[in-house]
Amino acid sequence: MRMGFDNEKYIRIQSENIRKRIDKFGGKLYLEFGGKLFDDFHASRVLPGFSPDSKIKMLMELKDSLEAIVVVNAGDIAKNKMRGDNGITYDMEALRLVDSFRERGILADSIVLTQYVSQPAVVVFEKRLKALNIKVYRHNSIEGYPLDVEKIVSEKGFGKNDYIRTSRPLVVVTAPGPGSGKMATCLSQLYHENKKGVSAGYAKFETFPIWNLPLKHPINVAYEAATIDIVDVNMIDPYHLEVYSKQAVNYNRDIEIFPVLNSILKSISGESPYKSPTDMGVNMAGFCITDEEVVSAASRLEVIRRYYDLLKDRKQGMASDEMVARMELLMKNASIGSGERKVIGVVMKRAETLNKDPSVLEATAVSGVELEDGTILTGRTSMLLGASSAMILNALKTMAGMDDSVLLISPTVLEPIQALKTENLGFKNTKLHVDEMLIALSISALTDTRAKVALEQLPKLRGCEMHSSVILSSVEESTLKRLGLNITCEPVYQNNALFQGQRKI
């Protein structure tokens, strides 16, 4: 895969820039950390060369000066809100974040419950935190926030919040998801630090949009596509343009809140260090792009993938027609079409050929993958294999230089698995899904050299583009993502059943 981003440079200059910001404020900085701190696969897809764990590696450069605070909205706990990407509730995600910091030797022993409400689930979580020896702080809802600056910056506003005791120069404030109250937590701390005579500052870390790239650059378009559900819109920062006569890209929410944020900062310390929303940021990713063509092409593919994900979500009742319309307008304005992702056309052409008979109740599913060299291989459902399983076996044979007729999985391995599925586990068909197929291939590899060689090709699938002619089950999709495939699917089910089980295809 061609790289378009210098990851080592990014880690180096990003940590240096944060150090400079700490020094600017006299040795204490509250850094609001937006986006994914761990496993940022969006960034790694649109910036080939960016490692999914780059941000935490960057923070590791500052480990001795760093501590982390995890913020979670009490209302989200009461509603049992879950992250869409990993299916973990916000309260459990808060604990996972603490664990992730501690595993890397980063000080993390505080969780803040924002907009505190004394509901049963919140009280139970609070007790659990205390039992785990985690410091728990309560921050209250402030009437008139964020517009009533006079009340906010007073004993009736931030003054009612618990003061979070910190001991390091850099305090990273992160959360399970958006709307958790990261910025309010940072500002509340500035209020309390100022009251105690401690010099402290606030800054914001957001990877996207990349402020020093053009407004309509594919990377920034991909960010809008990724946030279509919360209606984030990239804009030229008008404050930055007015003060510096330079264009910088920010997003609507930061631009809209800036006058209020600036007033709060002035009320706390008498002056604001910032003249624009862009000034608040510390992101250096735009300076580490090494190949414009590569990152642009990768970002355009990401927009297409986001579009197909949205179509699937709409089919499953998790997205609206309005969201799809916004996405289609975004793509039209950026001149991005699904035809740019070649694997889609190949898969759909084969599926059309296999399903010409309109009387067939259950369509033959087709999955396809585009390998690194541009070769596109497909697989179809059969009595033995699911479409994605067949596709992967075909890809492994091709990458290993084997003929398509080679039998990689021994019948002596297949027969007991098929019997287990139908006789003991109650499945209606014997088709092997991807996880089952890989287990069977691994067993065959113990005695068959060809199976072993094929299995060794699996890492080469990482980063390859894949498309399915039907919606994949959540189990199948999860396995394919673990292999590192960039997956999309048509927004249709393989059959017309009302209940679509976990192992339908």
- Per residue of the chain (505 residues), what is the pLDDT tens digit? 789 999 999 999 999 999 999 999 999 999 999 888 888 999 999 999 999 999 999 999 999 999 999 999 999 999 999 876 667 899 999 999 999 999 999 999 999 999 998 999 999 999 999 999 999 999 999 999 999 999 999 999 999 999 999 999 999 999 998 889 999 999 999 999 999 999 999 999 999 999 999 999 999 999 999 999 888 999 999 999 999 999 999 999 999 999 999 999 999 999 999 999 999 999 999 999 999 999 999 999 999 999 999 999 999 999 999 999 999 999 999 999 999 999 999 999 999 999 887 666 577 999 999 999 999 999 999 888 999 999 999 999 999 999 999 999 988 888 888 888 888 888 877 889 999 999 999 999 999 999 999 999 999 999 999 999 999 998 899 999 999 999 999 999 987 665 555 444 4
Looking at domain 7-292, its CATH superfamily turns out to be dip2346 domain like (3.10.630.10)
Q: Rounded to the nearest 10 degrees, what angle do helices 387-399 and 434-445 cross at?
A: 40
Query: What pLDDT does residue 366 have?
Result: 96
Query: Where are the domains positioned within the chain?
Result: 7-292, 341-489
Pairing status of strand 135-138 against strand 107-114: parallel
- Distances, alpha carbon 235 to alpha carbons 212, 270, 278, 332, in Å: 12, 29, 11, 18
Token pair listed for 164: 């979070």
Euclidean distance between CA atoms 37 and 485, whole angstroms: 21
Same fold, 7-292 and 341-489: no
Chain center to CA of 238: 29
- Name residue 385's beta-bridge partners: 432
Query: What pLDDT does residue 88 have?
Result: 87
Q: Which strand ranges, in their side-by-side order, compose the sheet holding 135-138? A: 135-138, 107-114, 66-73, 170-174, 29-33, 201-205
Tell me, letter by letter, the H, E, C secondary structure of 359-420: CCCCCCCEEEEECCCCCEEEEECCCCECHHHHHHHHHHHHHCCCCCCCCCCCHHHHHHHHHH
CB atoms within 10 A of CB 471: 22
Q: Provide the 8-state DSSP code for 234.
A: E
- Name residue 114's beta-bridge partners: 73
- Name residue 29's beta-bridge partners: 170, 201
**Hey, what CATH class is 341-489 in?**
alpha beta
Euclidean distance between CA atoms 186 and 163, whole angstroms: 11
What predicted TM-score, i.e. pTM, was given to this entire model?
Answer: 0.92
Query: What pLDDT does residue 123 have?
Result: 96
SS3 250: strand
